[in-house]
């Protein structure tokens, strides 16, 4: 599984004691690999890992192609997303957009609709921007030059190295979270491996190990090892093809390496959402919010939380949910709708990075969906025609569960909330 981590750069902690020999070598020599991984050891390491990968690798659809476009799509989708979740999206996306030009010429709404439910929607927007750039600058052919690839929107060091090595055989080592964990355990490196100096040392070590004859297979083998064997918890050392080289295993407590990342304290956010419902089962969705000029929106910015996609009328709450939602609707709806009866639904829980979101959703029974400029009336049971975020899907589920007989709930949800 591929993850393209950004690296926070907090001020370094002041050392309270002299570093150990391992950490001193790590910090000042730039090498974390065990001494046994000399020239002969590296050859054995490569041979054993590649043999294991050949025999035990998962059969994944993007491993059946060397097309840079298809590899690129897979790598972007796999960022911070489970492999099992990606597979159906990858297959649908390529069926609709089989090449760069098809993606570049599509409407953004259609691109987001096919991405809907996969999360981190800036990835989809950047994909299309990059596709349009490839068409404009390179005639629709995915570039082969490293500088040109790295200049594309949404492509960072990991993604660029993965595409170039897997699709084009470039001698570049990838470093994602899985590979970093493998390397940190090989050298028994403690501490957060995303700390900039550690990450740079891990990148150098990844380059030392790289099999330059088969860089694409090698990079995938390292990622596969981290994803399937050298997992964050309960690593399966007895199944590891290179366990004899691992200092963390020799320590007797491989799970202690690397150190845990310090998580940002969660920010609690409360939203209120209105789910209009007509006798015919229609509901109201508001249009995607426009981009704001400010660089950093507030943590409770509704546009950010709904991923700038179609959404229920929603407002951030300061004190009283029903009162503040009524005020928001009074400002948004045309006059003449009368007093609205708000029926509370089950609370919806959602998490977005460091934000813990609680949505107080209310159903509003109404004879006819009010007309709001840009808004749409759609069936509550079918969101397939518009791109919506996971948060909006959860609110829809809450409304459907409240209005459906228990025996029919599973089938209703299965049919109505497919991406």
Instruction: Give the distance from CA 283 to its chain's centroid.
Output: 29
Query: Distance between terminal CA atoms of the chain?
Result: 22
DSSP 13: P
Query: Is 146 an active-site residue?
Result: no
Report the distance separating Cα 256 and Cα 131, nearest Å: 42
Report the distance separating Cα 312 and Cα 342, nearest Å: 14
Under 8 Å CB-to-CB from 207, ≥6 apart: which residues?
173
Can you read off the two tokens belonging to residue 211? 């099999």
Asked whether 389 and 306 are in contact (CB, 8 A), the reply is yes
Report the distance separating Cα 270 and Cα 317, nearest Å: 6
Nearest to 417 by CA among 407, 405, 399, 406: 399
Under 8 Å CB-to-CB from 137, ≥6 apart: which residues?
143, 148
Report the distance separating Cα 250 and Cα 22, nearest Å: 14
Q: Which of 75, 109, 110, 141 is catalytic?
A: 75
Residue given tokens 């609680």 in the structure block: 358
Report the distance separating Cα 225 and Cα 241, nearest Å: 9
- Give bridge partners of residue 276 from the DSSP assignment: 364
- Give bridge partners of residue 362 from the DSSP assignment: 274, 344
Catalytic residues: 75
């Amino acid at each position: 599984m591929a993850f393209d981590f950004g690296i926070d750069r907090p001020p370094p902690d002041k050392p309270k004691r002299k570093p150990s020999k391992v950490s001193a070598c790590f910090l000042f020599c730039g090498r974390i690999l065990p001494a046994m991984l000399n020239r002969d050891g590296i050859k054995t390491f490569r041979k054993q890992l590649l043999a294991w990968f050949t025999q035990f690798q998962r059969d994944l659809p993007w491993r059946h192609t060397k097309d840079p476009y298809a590899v690129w799509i897979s790598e972007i989708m796999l960022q911070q997303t489970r492999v099992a979740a990606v597979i159906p999206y990858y297959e649908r996306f390529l069926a609709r957009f089989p090449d760069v030009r098809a993606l570049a010429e599509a409407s953004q709404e259609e691109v987001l609709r096919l991405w809907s439910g996969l999360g981190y929607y800036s990835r989809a927007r950047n994909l299309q921007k990059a596709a349009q750039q490839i068409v404009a600058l390179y005639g629709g052919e995915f570039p082969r030059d490293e500088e040109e690839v790295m200049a594309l929107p949404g492509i960072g060091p990991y993604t660029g190295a993965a595409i170039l090595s897997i699709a084009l055989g470039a001698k570049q080592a990838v470093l994602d979270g899985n590979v970093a964990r493998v390397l940190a355990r090989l050298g028994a490196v403690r501490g957060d491996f995303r700390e900039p100096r550690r990450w740079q040392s891990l990148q150098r070590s990844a380059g030392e190990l790289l099999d330059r004859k088969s860089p694409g297979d090698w990079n995938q083998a390292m990622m596969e090892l981290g994803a399937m064997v050298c997992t964050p918890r309960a690593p399966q050392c007895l199944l590891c093809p290179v366990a004899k080289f691992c200092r963390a295993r020799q320590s007797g407590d491989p799970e202690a390496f690397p150190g845990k990342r310090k998580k940002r304290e969660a920010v609690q956010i409360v939203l209120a959402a209105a789910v209009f419902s007509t006798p015919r089962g229609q509901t109201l969705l508001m249009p995607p919010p426009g981009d704001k000029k400010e660089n950093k929106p507030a943590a409770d910015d509704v546009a950010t939380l709904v991923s700038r996609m179609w959404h229920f009328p929603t407002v951030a709450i300061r004190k009283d949910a029903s009162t503040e939602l009524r005020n928001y609707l009074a400002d948004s709806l045309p006059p003449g709708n009368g007093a609205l009866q708000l029926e509370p639904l089950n609370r919806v829980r959602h998490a977005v990075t460091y934000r813990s979101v609680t949505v107080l959703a209310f159903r509003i029974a109404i004879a006819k969906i009010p007309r709001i400029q840009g808004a749409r009336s759609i069936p509550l049971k079918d969101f397939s025609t518009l791109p919506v975020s996971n948060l909006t899907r959860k609110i829809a589920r809450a409304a459907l569960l409240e209005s459906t007989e228990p025996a029919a709930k599973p089938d209703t949800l299965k049919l109505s909330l497919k991406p």
